[in-house]
Amino acid sequence: MVVRALGAAVLLCVVDVLHAFAIEEKGDVFKRMACPAFLVFDNAAYLADMTFELPCNCKPEEVSSVVWYFQKKAGSRKTTVLTDFAGTVVVDSGHVRAGSDVLKRFSIRMFSLIVFRAQVTDSGHYLCGTKKGDFFYGYDVDVQPTKHITVAFVDKGEHIQDDFTGNLFSLFTTFWDWTSCDRCGVRGEQRRIGLCYVRSGQLHPRYRTTVPNVTSCGSRAVPTHFQHIGPLRRPGVAIRSCLTPCLEEEVPEEGVQAISNVISKLGEKPWLPRVPTQFHKQPIGSGLIIACPGARPEHAVAWDKDSVRLYRSRYLVGVNRSMRVFIDHGNHLHIQRLQSSDRGTYFCWREGKMVAGFRLSVIYQHRRWRALNDPETVYAVKAIGMSYILISIIFVVIHVCRCCRRVLRYPAST
């Protein structure tokens, strides 16, 4: 017991030392960087559903905690406070859901603001300051939508849309680096995300950008009379094939691989990857969305169904309008209108390594009596009622027309 107590005390001391070191290191950053005399906004662009972090790069030494504010427009009276006024808000990212309010999707750690699964409505100004309303640092965040995104498959010779040049501005796509190969040992795929940017000499000087006269298309630095340029260009993504070897610990032993080949030839179940597998039952005809554990939209993620590779060249959303099974731009696997043929084990790759399995069973549900206040019952009653009314109107109109025609054909004798 004494040894355990001593070990726990040593561990707590180490944690305190590391925390103090982190605070001191952060303090050195604040000492090296002075706050600007006039508040400016750093431009930052992201794709929807991404998680981003905004560090408070400067603050006075006497300020021990910061408060983060959100404004849709600079100088707006409607300001959202993203803090508990102590700068200690921390949330579990695993509980964050897309579409929820920004107040449920942010976290403050070491003076930095973290926004999980950003939405287009999160675009705006983020300011670091105090509870009294003194601002030290600001960001101009542009979250660009994934809806109607431009997709180019490099293997097919496709390319992202060409640059657009106007009289006072030009639009172009700025690409991030290629992701790592999403699979190893077999043919995989790489993605490259491209965001919309604008070049103009009429940008607002209060906004600071990495390249002069260049900012993201949704930035507040773009003048008001240029706001129509947004729909002219959409963010894009390029996809190409790749092949990378697996690490030694990820390759099955020769004996296991040989046995799996024999079993596969005999028509039995082949060797399955040793990854955590979740079992799930889903009613037939329903919809299902599967997320890869620990994956974010910017990660290289791939999906397999048993031994079938679900490549994006065939299963990416938008490739075929009648798709029932597809992968969205946030790396989620969608299965609509479940069928019995959908049962099986779905494997998830993250950053070139298989990390999880999802064994799906499709079941038939017994019919149940629906209540009168059930939404589907109400919808069915309304649909039947409207159909009956429409048929009645058509019936009356037809008989009125027949009567009028008969009267005109055989006028009454005077």
Q: What is the pLDDT of residue 84?
A: 56
Across 77-93, average pLDDT: 59
Among candidates 252, 253, 216, which has minimal Cα distance to 235? 216
Q: What is the reported pTM? A: 0.66
Mean pLDDT across the stretch 236-248?
Answer: 90
**What is the token pair recorded at 346?**
């779905």
Percent of the chain with pLDDT over 70: 74
Do 179 and 82 meet the contact criterion of CB atoms below 8 Å apart?
Answer: no
pLDDT band at 333 (very low <50, low <70, confident <90, very high): very high
Region for 99 from its dihedrals, namely left if φ exceeds 0, alpha if ψ lies in -120 to 50, beta otherwise? left
What average pLDDT does the chain have? 78
Nearest to 158 by CA among 301, 292, 312: 312
Quick check: 65 and 132 in contact, CB under 8 A?
no
Q: Taking the domains of the chain in order of start, what are their residue ranges?
A: 23-144, 150-243, 271-363, 370-414
Per-residue pLDDT of 2-54, as tens digits, reads 334 444 444 344 334 344 434 444 444 445 456 766 788 899 999 988 888 89
Same fold, 23-144 and 271-363: yes
Q: Which of the four pLDDT bands, split at 50, 70 and 90, describes residue 59?
A: confident
- pLDDT band, very low/low/confident/very high, at 267 (cuts 50, 70, 90): very low
Tell me the one-letter amino acid at 380. Answer: A
How does pLDDT run across 94-108, given as a tens digit for each residue?
A: 444 444 455 567 777
The pLDDT value given to residue 5 = 41
End-to-end CA distance of the chain: 120
Which range has the worst mean pLDDT, 20-24, 203-207, 369-373, 398-402?
A: 20-24
Average pLDDT of 64-86?
Answer: 74
Residue 29 vs residue 129, higher pLDDT: 129
Lowest mean pLDDT among 58-67, 178-187, 218-227, 306-315: 58-67
- More confident position, 328 or 90: 328
Using a pLDDT cut of 90, give the percent of the chain over it: 28
Q: Which fold has domain 23-144?
A: Immunoglobulin-like (2.60.40)
CATH number of 271-363: 2.60.40.10
Band of pLDDT at residue 412, cut at 50, 70 and 90:
low
